Amino acid sequence: MGDHVTDEDGQLEQLVDRLRFEDEPGPLTRQLQTRASDLRNEQQRIRAGETALPNLLVQVLSICRQHLGDDAVDPTPWLSLAEQAGRTAANLVAENDPNRDRLVRAGYVEAVSSMLSNTPDRSMPLGMSRALAASLLNLVVQGHEPSLAALATDGNVLPLLRYARRITPLLLSKDSDDWRLVAGWFWNIIALTCQTGKVHGSAEIVSLLLDPLCILPVGRLDAEDVPVVTSACEAIEATASVEGSNLSVFMLAQQNESAEESKTPLDRVTDFIESAAVAPGEAVGDDGDDGDESGDDEVAKTLGAAKRSLVGATVELSCVVPNEGPFWETMRRWLSLSDRDDLQTTALLCFGNRAMGDGQAEALLPTLMDTILGLLEPTTPMLKQHAVVGLLKNLSIPTTNKAALGQAGVIAKLASMSVWSPERDLVGSVQGGSVGVVKNLCRDNVDNAVRLLEAKDAVGQILDLITRTEDPAIRFEATRVFVNALRSLANTRGAKQDAIHSLSTQPIVNALCNMLAQSRQYPLLTNEAVISLALLATFGPPDTCSKICTGLVNSQGLKVLGEIVAPASEGAFSREVQANSVTLLRALRAGAANGGETTGRVRKEVSDAVRQAKGEGRAVAEGAEAVWEDANAVEV
């Protein structure tokens, strides 16, 4: 019970008690009707929440449910009573979290679910449905977590979905305007509930969520039905994305009542993405005039959002679809539809998911190569570029695919698209993804490393991106393109190894030194930077070591290098990175014997760090003491 009882609630309690022994709900219905109107006042609402009212409303719905379960009882007065209880609850919790808390604790969500489950099939009560939907919507519309958590349980979400199934077909009738509002509220509640991530997609839940896509004529939708469809699509996407959901239920065939063939939920999802459209002349503008352009645009945007939700679900589900079958036939057909950017993009994203794993990637590439190459053009829309680059990133991992993609000219094509230019800075997924593709192609592949150097503007664009970007992930990935190219070239002989000279520029050296300076929390990147600098010092032209010393001094790389060989604590750096750092220092000593000021500074700071560590009894990297034994002779 609440903290105190007002006169109004005292009367309500008496009427509720009498109703347990008398089958005359009229007086209580009238009392609640008045109470609901009073609660439109904010102050009344605040005071009412502290009374017995939340518990009384739950008791009223419980009594209504009991009477509605008796086929011999006329349901009309009890449905009217439930309607007023719903109105009262809706106004009680409007924009009031404390009252929402109290109503949920009283068991209101469970009471409404029970009411929906026991409403007789012989009548569809518009008033009660509207009132109960309004009360649930007011509970959840502002993201009230206890309300959403209560609704997300199977015991509550299933009755909600089953009731929505009864309402949705009513939208097909000529007199559907009143029900359209109610259906919109119910499906909005369902979408918000599913978006909590707590509704797992059982076979029944998935089937119920698909109802608007199955019942409504998706190829000729009434514009006013689009919000219902959009909420259903949002709920489907959310359910498909729940971690731990059994996504296989989307692949279970369901008999289509209006056709001879059976379709899976995933079939229905892809049918909607491809075919959903608003019937011509159905859009209504803000001023109510049929065919108003602003109304058309708004409806188109809403329907587009619904399709995007299902695209997200489709891409998520593509991970678990068997490798052969109707779904992938549909995706291949979509790839051929050059006039449907949305379908091509969806198919590319799905194939990108399927290409995870060397075996799948190797099997897919020959069948997709021509399509991919045709899309690597500057005029390709950005969303499609994002999708094809994501697909390429997965396809570029297997060894055999690296060679095929390199021979097909993918590196040069990406450079010709100017994907790393300043004009593309707002499309980070394309920039970063393209960097990842080239990084993969240059790993353990000498020919692709050479192709990178030969591709017009490729190195320059990537270096400009490294300097310009504020995204450390893109900056590191772009630098790792040169790491992989260096390692590949260093593992060969002759003219191809000489190509390392083209990577021995001050800008590339600076990028590697900056990665060394900025990657303390990423040991892998630190080690890669050290190895790459050591390779440059070993295989680069005579002035390379001087460039490296300059890069180390101008960044924090020199400080990090000193910390690696003379760490502040044991285990701060792996033995591998310490050994590689000593190798770098030895290469710098050998290659910069006649170096200038920066070489001397590197010598002195590293030697001072080693000497200080030894003086303090700290362990240093093996071989670090002997790297520059004559460091004291250098004055800086």
Give me 216's structure tokens: 């409504």
Q: Would you say residue 568 lies in a domain? A: no
Q: Would you say residue 182 lies in a domain? A: no
End-of-domain residue from the set 469, 503, 537: 503
Q: Would you say residue 492 lies in a domain? A: yes
Residue 287: pLDDT band (50, 70, 90) is very low
Give me 298's structure tokens: 């708004």
Name the nearest CA neighbour of 451 among 493, 488, 426: 488
* Helical segments of 94-220, H only: 97-105, 108-118, 126-140, 145-151, 154-167, 177-194, 203-209, 211-215
Instruction: State how far the Cα of 125 lies from the Cα of 114, in Å rounded to an integer.
Output: 15
End-of-domain residue from the set 125, 151, 177: 151
Q: From residue 503, how far is each of 26, 449, 487 by CA, in Å?
A: 88, 10, 11
Computed from CA positions of residues 332, 337, 340, 344, in that sequence, does the dihedral angle turn out positive or negative? Answer: positive
Q: What is the mean pLDDT of residues 420-427?
A: 82
pLDDT at 255: 47
pLDDT at 31: 92
Q: What is the pLDDT of residues 163-183, one digit of tens each?
A: 999 999 999 887 778 899 999
Q: From residue 97, how far is each of 48, 134, 142 by CA, in Å?
A: 13, 16, 9
Q: What is the mean pLDDT of residues 98-122?
A: 91
Q: Would you say residue 170 lies in a domain? A: no
Q: Would you say residue 327 lies in a domain? A: yes
Q: What is the mean pLDDT of residues 586-615?
A: 81
Q: Would you say residue 556 lies in a domain? A: no
Q: From residue 132, how far is each of 137, 138, 227, 409 by CA, in Å?
A: 9, 10, 19, 62
Q: What is the pLDDT of residues 558-600, one digit of tens each?
A: 999 999 999 988 888 999 999 999 999 988 887 665 556 778 8
Residue 604: pLDDT band (50, 70, 90) is confident
What is residue 148's three-state secondary structure?
helix
DSSP symbols for 221-240: B-GGGHHHHHHHHHHHHHHH
End-of-domain residue from the set 122, 151, 180: 151
Domain at 497, CATH number: 1.25.10.10
Give the domain extent around 328. Answer: 323-503
Q: Would you say residue 315 lies in a domain? A: no
| Range of lowest pLDDT (105-109, 177-181, 330-334) | 177-181
Name the nearest CA neighbour of 229 among 285, 297, 158, 277: 277
Total domain count, the chain: 2
pLDDT at 250: 79
Q: What is the mean pLDDT of residues 344-364?
A: 93
pLDDT of 244 higher than 70: no
The CA R_g of the chain, rounded to the nearest whole Å, is 34
Q: Would you say residue 532 lies in a domain? A: no
pLDDT at 596: 64
Q: What percent of the chain has pLDDT over 90?
A: 63
Q: According to the per-residue pLDDT averaged within each range, which of 384-398, 411-425, 496-510, 536-550 is highest?
A: 384-398
